[in-house]
């Protein structure tokens, strides 16, 4: 971004000084440690009060700051733009900047796969347009406006990811971004503790259409009855993807190996598609990206080339080299039963001359049925294909109990969350060349610490 401070003041209905015309803001930051010269620092109110770090931000090069009016001792070293609420001001500024740049907006949500789908969509669209996408998982009421404000002036399409942990959150983000295209990947059990049922999760995900432009389009997983039912009630155009003949974009002939999945699409029978990821669930994410590409009239061959080499956000079914010659499938960012079963089944089919080992951590925020949901993972763990299971966290006791029906006790290993160092040590002692190991857990279990201990340094 690049705006004069006086323009930012006008956007926020603040009376500015004449010399603000001479101050150019080139970035926005809410982290005083990670800003550059020319930044506008936004002190947010959370577990910590960002105003406590304004002096640090100024010392690190901030050219101006927002300042919440209920705070005293505003700084005088740089201009301080006084607002009633700094988060509201950040969001208001992003609305202004979005209207100024005026890109087409593609919004992506779903219980699983939204980050990977966002990456795929951005890669497909970048074959023809200047594209900006959500960085990492900046997908909430702070991350979405930050994504918008990070756009370059020549941005033609903004691909923005939208996450949620409560009702109304997607509604707010949808109205903020006002998408031309809304994408829903799937409905799972993520955050079901707060929503109560998959039906309620579907209701919350459908909030993405609340800000969808009247001439926009909803692209969604047509294999999910909960979405099919709800999509019938919207006025905008709809388009489905999935495995069924009733879907507008249907995949066939899906084949996966250790590093990639290939498939065909009935709409384009002469085209071959390959993604650098395993699992039919990732093929569905690719279908979502192809659906968006079709909407923007991207050439089929260009889409295929983009999907074959797109950049994957770290720790989303990412293969890593292990210290002892083994291979690690890292999927440690998040987990819920649907996602865990999908990756377990895909992992079980990866060919190897060694053994397959599953390392699973607790799945959080599942609510009253959490024990049954953990035990249900046993359905996707075949002792003929997986040699040993390492479990981390108290909730995994339910899975351990279920696995005793088909595994020997010596094949099941349990650890508390504070025993991750021992877990890593035990894995390194047991794993050998040509073995495969899967790491899958909710982020709150921090299996990335185990990953760092058993993987080669990148």
Residues annotated as binding site for ATP? Answer: 110-116
User: CA 429: distance to chain centroid?
Assistant: 33
SS3 375: helix
In angstroms, rounded to a whole number, what is the distance separating the alpha carbons of residues 427 and 396? Answer: 18
10 Å Cβ neighbour count for 6?
18
Residue appearing with tokens 């401070």: 5
Question: Binding site membership: which residues?
Answer: 110-116
Dihedral through CA 170, CA 279, CA 449, CA 383, nearest 10? 130
Q: Which residues pair with 183 in a beta bridge?
A: 108, 219
Dihedral through CA 99, CA 289, CA 312, CA 424, nearest 10?
Answer: 120
Nearest alpha carbon to residue 154 among 81, 213, 217, 100: 100
Q: Across the chain, how many H-helices and E-strands are there?
A: 16, 21
DSSP states of 309-324: TPPPPTTSSEEEEBTT
Q: What angle do helix axes 280-295 and 114-125 make, rounded to 10 degrees?
A: 40
Residue 327's CB is within 10 A of a number of other CB atoms, namely 21
């Amino acid at each position: 971004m690049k705006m004069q401070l006086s323009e930012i003041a006008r956007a926020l209905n603040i009376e500015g000084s004449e010399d603000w015309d001479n101050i150019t803001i080139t970035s926005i930051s809410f982290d005083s440690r990670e800003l550059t010269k020319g930044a506008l620092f936004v002190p947010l109110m959370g577990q910590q009060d960002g105003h406590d770090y304004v002096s640090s931000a100024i010392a690190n090069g901030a050219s101006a700051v927002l300042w919440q009016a209920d705070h005293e001792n505003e700084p005088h070293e740089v201009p301080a733009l006084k607002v009633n609420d700094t988060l509201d001001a950040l969001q208001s500024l992003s609305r202004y900047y979005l209207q100024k740049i005026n890109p087409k907006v593609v919004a992506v949500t779903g219980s699983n796969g939204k980050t990977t789908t966002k990456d795929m969509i951005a890669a497909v669209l970048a074959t023809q347009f200047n594209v900006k996408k959500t960085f990492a998982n900046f997908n909430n009421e702070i991350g979405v406006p930050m994504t918008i404000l990070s756009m370059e002036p020549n941005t033609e399409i903004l691909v923005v990811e939208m996450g949620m942990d409560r009702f109304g959150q997607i509604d707010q983000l949808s109205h903020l971004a006002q998408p031309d295209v809304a994408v829903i990947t799937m409905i799972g059990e993520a955050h079901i503790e707060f929503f109560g049922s998959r039906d309620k999760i579907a209701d919350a995900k459908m909030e993405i259409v609340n800000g969808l432009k009247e001439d926009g389009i909803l692209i969604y997983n047509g294999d999910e009855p909960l979405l099919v039912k709800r999509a019938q009630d919207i006025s905008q155009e709809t388009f489905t993807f999935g495995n069924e003949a009733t879907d507008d974009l249907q995949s066939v002939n899906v084949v996966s190996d250790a590093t990639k999945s290939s498939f065909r699409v009935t709409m384009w029978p002469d085209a071959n598609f390959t993604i650098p990821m395993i699992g039919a669930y990732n093929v569905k994410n690719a279908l979502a990206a192809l659906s968006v590409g079709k909407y923007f009239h991207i050439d089929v061959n260009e889409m295929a080339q983009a999907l074959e080499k797109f950049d994957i956000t770290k720790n989303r079914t990412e293969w890593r080299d292990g210290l002892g010659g083994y291979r690690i499938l890292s999927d440690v960012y998040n987990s819920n039963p649907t996602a865990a079963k999908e990756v377990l089944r895909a992992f079980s089919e990866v060919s190897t001359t060694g053994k397959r080992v599953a390392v699973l951590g607790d799945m959080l925020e599942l609510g009253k049925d959490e024990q049954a949901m953990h035990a249900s993972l046993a359905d996707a763990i075949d002792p003929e294909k997986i040699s040993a299971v390492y479990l981390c966290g108290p909730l995994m006791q339910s899975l351990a109990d279920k696995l005793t029906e088909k595994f020997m006790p010596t094949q099941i290993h349990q650890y508390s969350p504070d025993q991750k160092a021992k877990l890593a040590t035990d894995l390194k002692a047991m794993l050998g060349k040509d073995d495969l190991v899967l790491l899958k857990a909710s982020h709150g279990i921090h299996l990335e610490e185990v990953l760092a201990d058993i993987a080669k340094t990148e």
